[in-house]
Amino acid sequence: MEASNPDKTPSESPTVPKSAPDPARPGAKSSLDIAVIGATGYVGGRLVPELLAAGHRIRCLARKPDRLDGVEWRDRVEVIQADVLDRTSLDAAFDGIDAVYYLVHAMGHSGDFERSDRVGADNTRQAAEKAGVGRIIYLGGLGDDANDDLSNHLASRHEVGRVLGSGSVPVTELRAAVIIGSGSASFEMLRHLVEVLPMMVCPRWVTRTKCQPIAIADVLRYLVAVVDHPEAEGCVLEIGGPDVLTYRQMMDHYADVAGLQRRLIIPVPLLTPRLSSHWVNVVTPLPYGLARPLVGSLINDVVVTPERDIGTIIDHRPFTFDEALQRALSRVQDMTIKTSWMDSAPSLLSSASPLPQDPEWSGGTIYQDVQEVASTADPDRLFAIISGVGGSRGWYVANSLWALRGVADKLVGGVGMRRGRRHPDDLRVGDALDFFRVEEYRRPDLLRLRAEMKVPGEAWLEWRIAQGDDGMTHLSQVARFHPRGLAGRAYWWVLLPVHKIIWSRLATRLAHTAEAESTTRRKPVAA
Query: pLDDT digits over 263-292, tens only?
Result: 888 888 776 666 666 667 667 666 666 666
Give the model's pLDDT for residue 503.
94
Over range 422-450, report the average pLDDT.
89
Q: State whether 413 and 336 are in the same domain.
A: no
Give the model's pLDDT for residue 325.
95
Give the model's pLDDT for residue 28.
46
Query: Per-residue pLDDT for 25 more than 60?
Result: no
Q: State whether 250 and 329 are in the same domain.
A: yes
Assess if residue 5 is contained within a domain: no
Assess if residue 4 is contained within a domain: no
State how far the alpha carbon of 504 is from the alpha carbons of 370, 399, 458, in Å.
9, 15, 21
Q: State whether 399 and 269 are in the same domain.
A: no
- We report the CATH number of the domain holding residue 47 as 3.40.50.720
Query: Per-residue pLDDT for 476 more than 50?
Result: yes
Assess if residue 23 is contained within a domain: no
66: left (phi over 0), alpha (psi -120 to 50) or beta: alpha
Give the model's pLDDT for residue 351.
35
- Spatial separation of the C-alpha atoms in residues 243 and 4, rounded to whole Å: 14
Q: Confidence class of residue 148 from pLDDT cuts 50, 70 and 90?
A: confident
Q: State whether 52 and 145 are in the same domain.
A: yes
Over range 359-363, report the average pLDDT.
34
Query: Per-residue pLDDT for 173 more than 60?
Result: yes
Over range 415-419, report the average pLDDT.
78
Assess if residue 90 is contained within a domain: yes
Give the model's pLDDT for residue 51.
97
- Spatial separation of the C-alpha atoms in residues 23 and 282, rounded to whole Å: 47
Domain limit, last residue, from 344, 379, 401 = 344
Q: State whether 200 and 316 are in the same domain.
A: yes
Query: Per-residue pLDDT for 7 more than 60?
Result: no
Beta partners for 459?
Answer: 481
Q: State whether 389 and 490 are in the same domain.
A: yes
| Residues 459 and 481 sit within 8 Å (Cβ to Cβ) | yes
Query: Per-residue pLDDT for 192 more than 70?
Result: yes
Query: Per-residue pLDDT for 124 more than 50?
Result: yes
Lowest mean pLDDT across 123-132, 247-256, 327-336? 327-336
Lowest mean pLDDT across 147-161, 459-473, 503-517? 147-161
String of b and e for 120-134 (b: at least 16 CB within 10 Å)?
Answer: bbbbbbebbeebebb
Q: How much of the chain exceeds pLDDT 90, in percent?
A: 49
Q: State whether 208 and 96 are in the same domain.
A: yes
Q: Confidence class of residue 520 from pLDDT cuts 50, 70 and 90?
A: low
Reported residue count of the chain is 527
Q: State whether 378 and 289 are in the same domain.
A: no
- We report the CATH number of the domain holding residue 444 as 3.30.530.20
- What total of structural domains would you count in the chain? 2
Give the model's pLDDT for residue 274.
67
Q: State whether 454 and 322 are in the same domain.
A: no
H or E, element range at 214: strand 214-215
Give the model's pLDDT for residue 20.
40
Q: State whether 256 and 404 are in the same domain.
A: no
Based on DSSP, count helices (H) and strands (E) in the chain, helices before strands.
13, 19
Q: Confidence class of residue 380 from pLDDT cuts 50, 70 and 90?
A: very high
Q: State whether 303 and 414 are in the same domain.
A: no
Containing structural domain, residue 396: 362-522
Assess if residue 357 is contained within a domain: no
Task: List, in sequence order, every beta strand (DSSP E) within 306-397.
Answer: 367-375
Q: Confidence class of residue 359 from pLDDT cuts 50, 70 and 90?
A: very low
Angle between helix 288-297 and 152-164 (nearest 10): 90
Sign (positive or negative) of CA dihedral 197, 202, 208, 210: negative
Assess if residue 11 is contained within a domain: no
Q: State whether 340 and 202 are in the same domain.
A: yes
Closest to 29 measured CA to CA, from 54, 46, 8, 50: 54
- Angle among Cα 260, 266, 272 to the nearest 5 degrees reads 115
Q: Confidence class of residue 69 from pLDDT cuts 50, 70 and 90?
A: confident
